[in-house]
């Protein structure tokens, strides 16, 4: 989702401003120690750094492993976030639509992930391909993952910090949706175009989950807005999610994007 999604696949240097915005000024000590951490992990796992990749909540590097195998090294300031991502990727192990874990070191806050080729962000994806992606991603909710309501609270907290304003009504409506008695699935939690990569013949593959459990329609919001009015788009997603619930999520989450608000509330200023 738009609140704190990482961008990996477009390239770019580490943004300390984004890290401070997400984790606070204390993260700067972690940034200072990064070169030594990268050297340690690369030596242990036999990696050669090729180039940096982008990221809002992590430092990611495109690397080659022994024999030139492409991999992505991801380093995160908070070990809890690494543990949560590892748990989600482990729960999805075997799914062709989710990036695979090669190595993990929670003490270092490090994940080594498979390198996807070409690994570019998948934009303008057809409704049919989104349905296939969601079907491969969503499975009955396992134990041990936070509920969607907690994810909603975090998103609105970050929104208020980054763009102060009155969001109480939308926040309350989102919580009500999150707590509706609908089937609960394991959600990606931050499923937008930059977190869905083109893996060539393998198809679309998701990265950077902010996993939680809840309403499947939540993961479809960004794709509903892709290409314009979600009211015309949601019908294409009916094979994987309830179109009316997707629209309901689109309304309450439109506050995260001025462009979305213009679509949902035309004529308002």
What are the backbone angles phi and psi of residue 237, rounded to the nearest 5°?
A: -100, 5
**Separation CA 115–CA 96 (nearest Å):** 14
The predicted structure's pLDDT at residue 9: 33
Given the structure tokens 């990727």, which residue do they identify?
89
Global confidence as pTM? 0.90
User: Is the domain 127-264 a CATH 3.90.1200.10 member?
Assistant: yes
Q: What percent of the chain has pLDDT over 90?
A: 77
Indicate the domain borders of the chain: 16-114, 127-264
Query: What secondary structure, in 3-state letters, does 214-262 show?
Result: ECHHHHHHHHHHCCCCHHHHHHHHCCCCCHHHHHHHHHHHHHHCHHHHH
The predicted structure's pLDDT at residue 228: 76
In the predicted structure, residue 84 carries a pLDDT above the cut 90: yes
The predicted structure's pLDDT at residue 55: 73
- What's the mean pLDDT in 222-243? 91
- What's the mean pLDDT in 104-126? 94
More confident residue, 12 or 129: 129
Q: What is the CA radius of gyration of the chain?
A: 18
Q: Which residues are catalytic?
A: 190
- What's the mean pLDDT in 169-184? 97
In the predicted structure, residue 175 carries a pLDDT above the cut 90: yes
**Separation CA 106–CA 116 (nearest Å):** 23
Token digits of residue 86: 């590892």
User: For the domain 16-114, what is the CATH code?
Assistant: 3.30.200.20
In the predicted structure, residue 16 carries a pLDDT above the cut 90: no
The predicted structure's pLDDT at residue 252: 97
| Beta bridge partner(s), residue 241 | none
The predicted structure's pLDDT at residue 13: 57
**Separation CA 265–CA 131 (nearest Å):** 27
In the predicted structure, residue 6 carries a pLDDT above the cut 70: no
């Amino acid at each position: 989702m738009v609140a704190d999604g990482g961008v990996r696949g477009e390239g770019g240097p580490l943004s300390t401003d984004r890290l401070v915005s997400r984790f606070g000024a204390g993260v700067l000590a972690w940034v200072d120690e990064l070169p030594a951490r990268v050297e340690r992990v690369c030596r242990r796992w036999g990696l050669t750094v090729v180039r940096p990749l982008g990221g809002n909540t992590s430092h990611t590097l495109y690397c080659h492993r022994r024999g030139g195998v492409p991999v992505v090294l991801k380093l995160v300031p908070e070990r809890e976030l690494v543990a949560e991502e590892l748990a989600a990727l482990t729960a999805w192990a075997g799914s062709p639509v989710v990036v695979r874990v090669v190595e993990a070191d929670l003490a270092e806050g490090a994940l080594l992930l498979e390198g996807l080729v070409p690994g570019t962000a998948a934009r303008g994806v057809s409704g049919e391909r989104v349905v296939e992606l969601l079907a491969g991603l969503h499975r009955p909710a396992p134990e041990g993952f936070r509920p969607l309501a907690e994810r909603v609270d975090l998103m609105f907290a970050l929104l208020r910090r980054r763009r102060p304003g009155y969001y109480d009504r939308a926040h309350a409506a989102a919580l009500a949706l999150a707590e509706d008695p609908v089937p609960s699935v394991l959600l990606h939690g931050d499923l937008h175009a930059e977190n869905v990569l083109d893996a060539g013949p393998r198809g679309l593959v998701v990265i950077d989950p902010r996993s939680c459990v809840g309403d499947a329609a939540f993961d479809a919001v960004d794709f509903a807005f892709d290409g314009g009015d979600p009211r015309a788009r949601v019908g294409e997603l009916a094979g994987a999610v309830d179109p009316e619930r997707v629209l309901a999520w689109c309304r309450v989450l439109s506050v995260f994007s001025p462009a979305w608000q213009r679509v949902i509330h035309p004529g308002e200023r």
